[in-house]
């Protein structure tokens, strides 16, 4: 899947040669759902691909080259063993194009009612067309039972969301 700009406001996503999505907002057929253990390979693919495209030039290329889908798959498989750990996936035409990972804060001194967004990643082709916003909004709604005034990294969630993946 690849994204190409038609003009300054419209994005066309392509799957091979055929247009898949032409939208400035999340495609109407983007499905956000709970992740299943059967999804871990695709989640690992999205995770590694997103790191390689998003952080190119920001972290050493050797680090990005060494990222391993099988290692990420093993880590995400292990995450399913923790009943407090939750994940959502974003799908377009049965292809996972993004995911979020969240649960209770991992800070040792945090109270059990403090939540944490662990990760949120999208494929490069779906960045900037509203899929991340929809994924975040549904994740946020599920995190609401926890109090998340700050993530474990010390920035407010709304600031992080606005600054990093809701830019247009």
- Condensed to tens digits (0 to 9), the pLDDT of residues 1-25 reads 444 443 333 444 443 444 443 334 4
Strand-pairing partners, residue 10, are none
Do residues 88 and 34 lie in contact, with contact meaning Cβ atoms separated by under 8 Å?
yes
Length of the chain, in residues: 168
pTM, entire model? 0.71
- The residues near 109 (Cβ < 8 Å, ≥ 6 apart) are none
Q: What is the CATH number of the domain that holds 37?
A: 3.40.630.30
The answer to the question of residue 138 being in a domain is yes
Rounded Cα gap, residues 116 and 157, in angstroms: 9
The answer to the question of residue 75 being in a domain is yes
The answer to the question of residue 158 being in a domain is yes
The answer to the question of residue 11 being in a domain is no
Rounded Cα gap, residues 63 and 78, in angstroms: 23
What are 91-134's pLDDT values in tens digits? 998 999 999 999 888 888 877 777 789 999 999 999 988 899 99
- The residues near 34 (Cβ < 8 Å, ≥ 6 apart) are 86, 87, 88, 89
Instruction: Tell me the residue range of the domain where 57 lies.
Output: 25-165
Split into its structural domains, the chain has a count of: 1
């Amino acid at each position: 899947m690849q994204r190409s700009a038609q003009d300054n406001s419209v994005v066309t996503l392509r799957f091979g040669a055929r247009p898949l999505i032409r939208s400035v907002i999340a495609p109407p057929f983007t499905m956000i759902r709970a992740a299943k253990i059967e999804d871990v390979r695709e989640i690992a693919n999205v995770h590694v691909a997103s790191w390689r495209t998003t952080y190119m030039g920001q972290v050493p290329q050797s680090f990005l080259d060494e990222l391993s889908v099988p290692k990420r798959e093993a880590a995400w498989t292990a995450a399913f063993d923790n009943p407090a750990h939750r994940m959502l996936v974003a799908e377009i035409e049965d292809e996972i194009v993004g995911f979020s990972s969240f649960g209770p804060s991992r800070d040792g001194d945090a109270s059990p009612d403090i939540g944490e967004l662990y990760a949120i990643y999208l494929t490069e082709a779906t960045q900037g067309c509203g899929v991340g916003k929809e994924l975040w909004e549904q994740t946020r709604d599920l995190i609401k039972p926890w109090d998340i005034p700050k993530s474990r990294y010390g920035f407010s969630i709304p600031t992080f969301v606005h600054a990093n993946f809701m830019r247009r």
